[in-house]
Amino acid sequence: MLQNHMTQKAVSIMTLGCRVNQYESDSVASKLKENNIKIVPFGEKCDIAVINTCTVTSESDKKSRQMIHRALLFADHVVVTGCYAQISGDEESKNSSVTYFRGNSGKAGLADTVMNILAGINEPKVDIGKPDNTSAVESILETPMRTRSYIKIEDGCNNSCSYCLIHTARGPVRSKSPETVLKEAEILSTKGNAEIILTGIETASYGLDFQNRRPYGYHLADLITEINKIESVKRIGIASLDPSVFTDYFTETVAKAEKLLPHFHISLQSGSSRILASMKRKYNRDMALKSFERIKKNIPDATFSADIIVGYPGETDEDFDDTLSICEQIQFLHLHIFPYSKRIGTPAAEMKDQIPAQIKKERLKRLSELGLASKEKILDDYVKSHTESPVFVLVEKADAKSYKGHSEHFAEVIAENAGERPKVGDIVPTVLTHYDEKYVYGRHKMP
């Protein structure tokens, strides 16, 4: 409450990277607000700018550095945290005008550090530490910060995919206790967030560190079952999942949770078993295909998105064809395609057969075209099946004439109002009329 007796201080927060980072920035912002500190847009003159960085690709590193330099121009102090700080903070801090660098483990206490700096209390310039702090995982968000709530249910990763640095930046799997997740889901949904998205660095590893550890995905399925019973929670989503989590147990269990959104974001990465083995992923092409089959069998209307890496070292034309064919077979609503980017310190960066940039570019283009054709086909069927029977749109924006949001299958919908104007956060039955390459259009279906 220190700040109540002083002129109101202003902090801006820039978040790069994943939803876990977003969740952690939201937690910092919510604590600062509780202490009467104003959160201002990034770029506006302020006392402190916090940059929550990312290091997933070399492009993310570059962007993190750019944001740090930008912030130094308008903020009195700059605080840098997140995965780039964790990996490169020691180096970056040399000759830097940044006031404070903190690794991922210290993020739970970051709001207190920011308040100390505002109060003129000196903090050591660099506090990277090891990313294995469990208390950071148990902290919860009590104030909804956006239309849907992301709940961080775990941090860290026990895998060591050849191209990835994240397991180094985030440490081993640490899961939030089920009691804490249920409490957080209840608080946020009661305060207005009807949709809860469970997120983590390797979300499917949830519970692998519990004493009664059971197979991969087991605890996550149980957690979804429990959240499904909370009355105020209306929709449950899950962040990206590795295909190998979709065992019979997992798929059959989550299919019974009627609030679970029938949309799955799969971190597929490649359709070639050879490349998946080189990446050290836990599945091959056949296993991935079986996972999609199991989901479709248990949740027939499920839609899918996927992350794919093109141009991984050693990826031949045949390997790339395998990726094209799996994408054609499954049909993804959204494809997130990343040209392989070398991360110094990973085994893949040392591989001899790196793919030239031009080939990566061509593969990205071919896969994007295939992705657009699939999207068009899915949306065409989607509109045809919902001209009478509605989809349910979580309203993210609304004005006097229309509203915009995502349906339960993760299609982005713009719809005309009918009768009462919906509010942001409402879940609105909507019949569909047509689509273009970006949106599906429709109108509010009145009872």
Residues that bind ligand SF4 (CB under 6 A): 157, 159-161, 164, 166-167, 201-202
Residue reference for tokens 């999609």: 292
Q: Which is nearer to ligand SF4, 343 or 409 (CB)?
A: 343
Query: Could you tell me which of 94, 117, 120, 90 has the C-alpha nearest to residue 103?
Result: 90
One-letter amino acid at 156 equals: G
DSSP 247: -
How far is C-alpha 354 from the geometric centre of its chain's CA atoms?
28
Tell me how far apart the alpha carbons of residues 352 and 128 are, in angstroms, rounded to a whole number: 33
Q: Which of 112, 195, 116, 97 is nearest to 149 (CA)?
A: 195
From residue 72, alpha-carbon distances to 43, 50, 274 in Å are 10, 11, 46
- Residue among 167 and 259 whose Cβ is closer to ligand SF4: 167
CA dihedral 68, 74, 75, 80 (to 10 degrees): -10
In the three-class reduction of DSSP (H, G, I as helix; E, B as strand; rest coil), residue 132 is classed as coil
Please identify, using beta-carbon distances, which residue of 161 and 188 lies nearer to ligand SF4. 161
Q: How does DSSP classify residue 421?
A: P
| 75 or 166: CB nearest ligand SF4 | 166
Cβ of residue 309: shortest distance to ligand SF4, in angstroms? 10
Q: Which residues, at least 6 apart from 320, have a Cβ–Cβ distance to it below 8 Å?
A: 272, 310, 363
In the bound complex, what is the minimum distance in angstroms from residue 139's beta carbon to ligand SF4? 21
Q: Which is nearer to ligand SF4, 207 or 442 (CB)?
A: 207
Write phi, then psi, for 12 (nearest 5 degrees): -120, 150
Which lies closer to ligand SF4 via its Cβ, residue 195 or residue 202? 202
Q: How far is the CB of 296 from ligand SF4 (least distance, A)?
A: 24
Least distance between ligand SF4 and beta carbon 244 (Å): 10
Closest separation in Å from C-beta 159 to ligand SF4:
4
CB atoms within 10 A of CB 139: 18
Q: How far is the CB of 280 from ligand SF4 (least distance, A)?
A: 8
Q: Rounded CA gap, 309 and 410, in Å?
A: 22
Question: Minimum CB separation from ligand SF4 for residue 313, in Å?
Answer: 15
- Element housing 413 (H / E): strand 412-416
User: Closer to ligand SF4 at the Cβ: 58 or 160?
Assistant: 160
Query: With respect to ligand SF4, which residue has the nearer C-beta, 9 or 219?
Result: 219
CA–CA–CA angle 39, 44, 49 (5° rounding): 60
